[in-house]
């Protein structure tokens, strides 16, 4: 499976990025974001993107880099709070935003990857989240229909991966990355450590290599969103 292994982020995105595509991006805050692939995406110059991600990084890192260059047309996400530019563009009607509750977003990604076109949930009933969505009553309770998400391209970040694309995530990075990896028509993973096939304990693998098309080892900065330091 060495044909999955790529030499650089730019090489990993060759011949797959295009204007107007939908891209799902893993991560939770700045934890577990495919930061080097995001930089390569920025440098490609692709534009008018619809990006699906829990949040959009911070002003100068992660998906915030693509907001700075106005390459994102629409965000489907759960959280805006750490990115002032994200907020500014939305409030100025420069960026389309589809707010999705965090658990619903995770399930929409998982459903898309599992071939499930939609599911009903009570989350969002009676709020703006439900506007324009089909609703049904089950056992006397109202539910709204949420659609599964399929992305043209999925970008994920794992702690360790092997040459067959099997991935192991670290702690909070496991929140969204496994579902993002499932939902992509083509999935690219960057990892801190790339090992030969067979080196990973099968019981520790979080995402099977069948979901990963390309993989590469990168060196990441692993920035921290906020740090609280106690005075001595």
Output the pLDDT for position 229. Answer: 76
Residue 195 has pLDDT above 70, yes or no: yes
According to the model, what pLDDT value does residue 34 have?
96
CA-angle at 211, arms to 8 and 220, nearest 5°: 35
pLDDT at 144 over 90: yes
| pLDDT at residue 60 in the model | 84
Provide the residue ranges of all domains of the chain, joining segments of one domain with +: 2-11+19-117+148-217
Q: In the numeric block, which tokens belong to residue 66?
A: 């693509």
- Rounded Cα distance, 113 and 107, in Å: 10
- The domain 2-11+19-117+148-217 is classified under which CATH number: 3.40.1080.10, 1.10.150.450, 3.40.30.10, 3.40.640.10? 3.40.1080.10
Cα 155 to Cα 194: distance, rounded to the nearest angstrom: 16
Any idea of the CA torsion for 150, 156, 159, 163, to the nearest 10 degrees? 80
Kindly report, residue by residue over 4-38, the tens digit of the pLDDT: 999 999 999 999 999 999 999 999 888 899 999 99
Residue 211: closest CA among 149, 154, 148, 147:
154
Q: Which residues on neighbouring strands pair with residue 195, listed in sequence order?
A: 162
Reported as a single tens digit per residue, the pLDDT across 88-134 is 998 999 999 999 999 999 999 999 999 999 999 999 999 999 999 99
Here the tokens at position 156 are: 């994920």
Percent of the chain residues past pLDDT 90, beyond the cut: 84
Does the structure show a pLDDT above 90 at 215? Answer: yes
Whether the predicted pLDDT of 1 surpasses 70: no
């Amino acid at each position: 499976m060495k044909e999955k292994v790529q030499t650089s982020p730019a090489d990993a995105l060759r011949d797959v990025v295009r204007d107007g595509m939908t891209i799902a991006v893993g991560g939770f805050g700045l934890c577990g974001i495919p930061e080097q692939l995001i930089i390569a995406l920025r440098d490609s110059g692709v534009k008018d993107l619809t990006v699906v991600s829990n949040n959009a990084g911070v002003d100068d890192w992660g998906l915030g880099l693509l907001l700075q260059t106005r390459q994102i047309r629409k965000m489907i996400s759960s959280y805006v709070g750490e990115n002032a530019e994200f907020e500014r563009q939305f409030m100025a009607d420069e960026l389309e935003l589809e707010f999705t509750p965090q658990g619903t977003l995770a399930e929409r990604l998982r459903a898309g990857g599992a071939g499930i076109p939609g599911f009903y949930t009570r989350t969002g009933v009676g709020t703006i989240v439900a506007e324009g969505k089909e609703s049904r009553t089950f056992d006397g309770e109202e539910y709204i229909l949420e659609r599964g998400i399929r992305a043209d391209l999925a970008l994920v970040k794992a702690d360790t991966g092997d040459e067959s694309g099997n991935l192991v995530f670290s702690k909070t990075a496991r929140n969204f990355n496994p579902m993002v990896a499932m939902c992509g028509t083509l999935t690219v993973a960057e990892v801190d450590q790339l090992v030969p096939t067979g080196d990973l304990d099968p019981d520790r693998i979080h995402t099977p290599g069948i979901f990963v098309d390309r993989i590469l080892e990168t060196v990441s900065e692993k920035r921290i969103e906020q740090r609280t330091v106690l005075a001595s």
